[in-house]
Structure 1
Amino acid sequence: MRARPVIAVIDVGKTNKKLFLFDQDYNIVYEQSARFLETVDEDGDVCENIESLRLSVFDSLRRVFAKKEFCIKAINFSAYGASFVYLDEEGTPLAPLYNYLKVYPKKLSEKFYAAYGGEEAFSLRTASPVLGSLNSGLQLYRLKHEKPDVFQKTKYALHLPQYLSYLISGKACSDITSIGCHTALWDFVDNGYHEWVRKEGIDAKLAPLAAYDEVSKAAFPGNNYLVGVGLHDSSAALIPYLVNFHEPFILISTGTWCITLNPFNNSPLTADELKQDCLAYLQYQGSPVKASRLFAGREHEEGIKRIAEHFNTDAIKYRSVDFDPEIVAALQKKTANEKLPAIGEAVFERRDLSAFSSYEKAYHQLMLDIVAQQVASTNLVLKGSPVKRLFVDGGFGKNKIYMNLLALAYPNLEVYAASMAQATALGAALAVHKSWNKKPVPNTLITLQYFSAPQDAIV
C-alpha cells in the first residue's frame, strides 16, 4: 500500500503537548498527546521542563516515522510564544524556560520604562500593554541586568516555537508572529525593532527573521522532509480564517479569555484602548491585527457556580438552557436604567440571586451581563473597519444564549459560530502549504452556523 503524504504539526500548549498528522485535505489522520510535570527555576518558580519537552519532541517524531502508512513531507510547530530559550554556541540551553507569569521586579521595570519614554508612550509604540514577564522582550532585559554572565554566553534567544523548529532543523531563526505579540520588542510605528533593542544589545541575541512559509531541510533523522520555522499559537489559529475568508471579518476566540481579533483594522492603538486591554500583534504575513481581551470565560465559570449553589442544582445544567427571547426582554426591561459598567468589571457577582425566580432566568442574566461586556470589548477593535462578518470559535460558540445575544447586539453583521478541528495546529500546517502539498486548500475547513436576531426582539 502506498504511504499517505502528510504534514506533522507539534503543538505545545501550557498543559498539553500534541502531535498531529494532517493529510493533503487537512483531515487529522493521527494524533498523540503528552503531559509531563513542570519543574522549577532557580528562584523556585514553576516553569516548563525544557529537557522533558525536548525528549518528547524527538520521541513523538520517532514514533510517527516508524508508521509506514504515512510519508511525512513536512513538519511545523505552534506554541505559546511569550517564553525564550537561551542557547549557547553549541545550541545547549543556558537557563530554565522561565514562566511568562513569573513576577517581574518592580524596580527593574521602573528603570526600563524611565529609560525608554515612560509606560504609556512606550506601550503605544510597541502595542504592548505593561504585562511584566508576558512582555517577553523584558525577560531578555532582565537576563542582561540580573544574569550578565548568562546573557554574555547566549548566542541566540529563541521564542519557544522557533526553538522547537531549531531542534529538528538545526537552524536558528526568529518569526514575526512571536516577535510581534506583546513582546515590547517591535516598534509598530517604524515597523522594525524598537530602538531599545539595539541600545541594549538585544538585537545581537535575536536570530535572523524568517518568513512564515520558509522551510529548511531537516537535521533530525527520518524521511526527506522539510521543516517550518514555527508560529505563535494565537497567530496560527487565525490563519485558517484568513485563508478561507477574504471579505473583512472579525473573530472572537473564546475560552477563559475571550479575545477579539480584527485583521482589517490598521488604525494605531490609542492610550484609551491600551488602558482597556487592547493590543496589536503581527499576523503571519506581517500585517498588524488589532485585538481586545476580556476575562469572560472566568466570569462565566464563577457565575454558574453561584447559580448552581443558589438553586441547589448541578453546575452543568446551563448546557440544557435554551435561549428564551421573552426572558431576555423582561430582564432587559428591568435593567434598562443601569449604568454601563467598565470593560472587565464583573457585574453578575454583585447581583442578588434571590431576585430571580428560576435557574433559567438567573442564567440568562449572567449571559446578558457577559455579552454586554463582550460587545463593549469587541467594539474597541470593530469601530472604523469594514467588517461584515463576525465569527465566534471556542466554548461560547456552542452556547446558544451567547450567540443569540451577540446576534441581537450586531443586527448589521452576519454572526456565525465557527468550528474546526485543532485550529492552531491547522494554521501551522497551512502556513507551509505550498512547500509540501500540491492540492488546493479546501474551502470546507471551517463549519459555520448562522445566528440572526429575531425581528421582534429588543436590541
Structure 2
Amino acid sequence: MIDALAVFDIGKTNIKLSLVDAQGHELAVRRRANEVVQGGFYPHHDVDAIEAWLLSTLSELAQQAYISAIVPVTHGATAALVDEHGLVLPIADYEQSFRTSSPSPEYEALRPAFDHTFSPSLGLGLNLGRQLYWLQQTYPETFGRAHRLLMYPQYWAWRLCGVAAAEVTSLGCHTDLWQPSDGTYSSIVASCGWTQLMPSLHPAWAELGCLHPHLVRQTGLPSDCRILCGIHDSNASLLRYLDRSDNGPRVVLSTGTWLIAAALDGGLDCLREQSDMLANVNARGEAVACMRFMGGREFAELAGSTPHVCNEADLQALVDSQSMALPCFSGCGGPFAGRQGHISGSVPETAAGRYALATLYCVLMTEYCLEHLQASGPVVVEGSFTANPYFAPLLAATSGGREVFCSEDGSGTTMGGWILRHWREHPHGAALPAPKAVAPLRLRGWESYRQAWRHAVTPLLRNEDIPFF
C-alpha cells in the first residue's frame, strides 16, 4: 500500500483533509463546511463535530493508503484552553466582540506597542490576546483551571497524540503575544499571568509523537503514524518560497477567506497599524511584512450564493460602464474596515456579471495592498483564487510589468503540509512543480477604470482614527 501524508486543513470557511503521496501528488481530498455554534457560552467552533468527521474520514482514507503522518494546518486568531481531560472553555470564534465591562484594566492599556509585536489593534477577536483577556475576565474560575494554552494547530496535534506544544507561526499571527525581533513572548503574557500556560516551543515540522493507541484502533491507521506540530495556514503557503535563490516569486498571495499579501524580501518600516498592515512570523521565526483583506469573504458577498464564472466580455462590460465595487464587504479586517461597501454605477443583473464585479474588486484591492507593502519582485497566487481564470491575468496587467505566477496545485496549505513532512529532504519544496507565469489580460480602458477606483476610495482613508471592526 502506498505511503501517504494526511494534511488536516481547517480554514475559516471550509475544512479539508487531503491525502498526499511522497512526491507531493494529491491522492484524495475530502471537504466539509466549518460551521460555528452560536449557542452556549459564546459563539464557538464545533470541535466535537470536526473531530468526529476527521476520524471517520481518516478511517475511510486508511483503506486507500498507509497514512504514516498527519499534519494540522489551521486559520489564525484561535486557541484552546485545556486541562488534562480536554477543553475547559469552548474554542471561541474570532468573529464576535470581546469587549469587557469589568473594572479591571482595559485591554488596550495592557497590549504591547505595535513596534514590539507588529500586531495591529484589531476589532472583534482578531487579536488573540483580546480573546484570552475577555475569557479570563468573564470566566475567571473556569479560566483558572486551564493547564495549557494551545494555538489551534497544536490543539489538534495534542488531541491526536497527547503532546502539548507551541509554534511560532500561530503565536506570531496578530496575537499581541509574540515579539518577533527577540523571538520571545511579549510583555502581555507575563502581565496577564499566562506564562505558565505556554508549552515548550517546537518547529512546525517537528514530530511530536505517534497517534494515540485508542485512535489507532478507532481509525485503522498504523500505530507508527506520526503527528507533526503543525502550522498557521497562510504560513504553510509561504514555505516553498522562503529560500528561492532564482528569479521566482518573492511576494506570496495566500488566498482563501482572507487574502494575505506577504513580502518575503520586504522591510517592516512600511507597516502602518491603521491600515491593518502587520508582520506575520514564518516557520523559521522571521518576521514577514504582510497586508490583507477578507478577499474570499468579500468575493462571496459580491458574487452571490451561486457564483457563475464570467467571461472576458462580462469584465469588459463593467469596465466600459465604469461600474465598480467600493470597499468593504466584510465585517472585519483590511485597510477599509468599518466602511460600508457599495456599488458605484449599474449593478450587474446576472450571476456572471456579479462574478466579474467581484473579480475586478479583488484585483484592485490586491494591487492596493501590494503598493502599500512596497513589495518588490514577482508575485505568486496560492490557494482558492487560483481557480478564478481572470484574477491572476488581470493582476498581471495591473502590476506595472511585475511578473505574476499562479500555483498549479491550487492549495498552498496542502503543499505546505507536504513540505513539513519532508523538511529534511526538501526543506523548501524544491521537488514541487514551479508555478506557471501568467499572461496579462488587457481590457480596453482598464487603466482609466483603475484610476477611477483609486480616486473613489481615497476619501475613505482620510480619517486615520477610524477603528477596526
For the criterion TM > 0.5, the same-fold answer is yes
Quote how far apart the aligned CAs of 1:96 are. Answer: 1.0
- Which residue is equivalent to 1:283? 282
Please give the per-residue CA displacement for 1:29-67, whole angstroms capped at 9, x wherever unaligned: 133344586534533x332222233333344334444x2
Quote how far apart the aligned CAs of 1:105 are. Answer: 1.4
Aligned pair partner of 1:54 in 51, 56, 65? 51
Q: Report the AA paired with residue 83 of structure 1.
A: T
Structure 2: where are the runs of 5+ without partners?
214-221, 329-333, 448-469
8 Å contact kept, 1:73–1:225: yes
**Structure 1 vs Structure 2: percent identity of aligned residues?**
23
- Which residue is equivalent to 1:389? 378
> Following the alignment from structure 1 to structure 2, what is the Cα–Cα distance between the partners of residues 105 and 27?
45
- Which residue is equivalent to 1:218? 210
Quote how far apart the aligned CAs of 1:206 are. Answer: 1.3
Aligned pair partner of 1:205 in 193, 197, 204? 197
1:101 matched to 2:58? The reply is no
More helix by share: 1
Query: In the superposition, relative to structure 1, how do residues 370 and 455 fare at CA in structure 2: closer, same or farther (>3 Å)?
Result: closer
Give SS of 2:407's match.
strand
**TM alignment of 1:105-254, pairs within 5 A:** 105-107=99-101, 111-116=105-110, 122-131=113-122, 132-221=124-213, 222-242=222-242, 247=247, 249-254=250-255
**TM alignment of 1:5-44, pairs within 5 A:** 5-34=3-32, 38-40=36-38, 42-43=40-41
Query: In the superposition, relative to structure 1, how do residues 415 and 110 fare at CA in structure 2: closer, same or farther (>3 Å)?
Result: farther
Query: In the superposition, relative to structure 1, how do residues 149 and 430 fare at CA in structure 2: closer, same or farther (>3 Å)?
Result: same
Query: In the superposition, relative to structure 1, how do residues 111 and 352 fare at CA in structure 2: closer, same or farther (>3 Å)?
Result: same
Aligned pair partner of 2:397 in 399, 404, 408? 408
Quote how far apart the aligned CAs of 1:269 are. Answer: 5.5
> Following the alignment from structure 2 to structure 1, what is the Cα–Cα distance between the partners of residues 34 and 301?
28
> Following the alignment from structure 1 to structure 2, what is the Cα–Cα distance between the partners of residues 79 and 225?
20
Give SS of 1:74's match.
strand
Q: Report the AA paired with residue 349 of structure 1.
A: H
Quote how far apart the aligned CAs of 1:348 are. Answer: 8.6
Give SS of 1:8's match.
strand
8 Å contact kept, 1:323–1:404: no
Quote how far apart the aligned CAs of 1:366 are. Answer: 7.2
Query: In the superposition, relative to structure 1, how do residues 411 and 91 fare at CA in structure 2: closer, same or farther (>3 Å)?
Result: same
Q: Report the AA paired with residue 237 of structure 2.
A: A
Give SS of 2:310's match.
helix
8 Å contact kept, 1:244–1:443: no
Quote how far apart the aligned CAs of 1:283 are. Answer: 1.2
RMSD: 4.0
> Following the alignment from structure 1 to structure 2, what is the Cα–Cα distance between the partners of residues 400 and 37?
28
8 Å contact kept, 1:266–1:288: no
Please give the per-residue CA displacement for 1:247-292, whole angstroms capped at 9, x wherever unaligned: 451122344543212122132454xx22112111111111112111
- Which residue is equivalent to 1:311? none
Scaled by the length of structure 2, what TM-score is found? 0.77
Query: In the superposition, relative to structure 1, how do residues 370 and 266 fare at CA in structure 2: closer, same or farther (>3 Å)?
Result: same
- Say which one has the larger Rg: 1
Quote how far apart the aligned CAs of 1:198 are. Answer: 1.2
- Which residue is equivalent to 2:464? none
8 Å contact kept, 1:136–1:183: yes
Aligned pair partner of 1:419 in 408, 417, 431? 408
Q: Report the AA paired with residue 351 of structure 1.
A: S
In the comparison of the two structures, how many residue pairs are matched? 430
- Which residue is equivalent to 2:311? 320
> Following the alignment from structure 2 to structure 1, what is the Cα–Cα distance between the partners of residues 356 and 57?
45
Give SS of 1:77's match.
strand
8 Å contact kept, 2:129–2:177: yes
Please give the per-residue CA displacement for 1:295-351, whole angstroms capped at 9, x wherever unaligned: 45555555556xxxxxxxx985661234888996x778x99xxxx999549899352
> Following the alignment from structure 1 to structure 2, what is the Cα–Cα distance between the partners of residues 438 and 416?
21
- Which residue is equivalent to 1:308? none
Give SS of 2:212's match.
coil
Give SS of 1:209's match.
coil
Query: In the superposition, relative to structure 1, how do residues 233 and 39 fare at CA in structure 2: closer, same or farther (>3 Å)?
Result: same
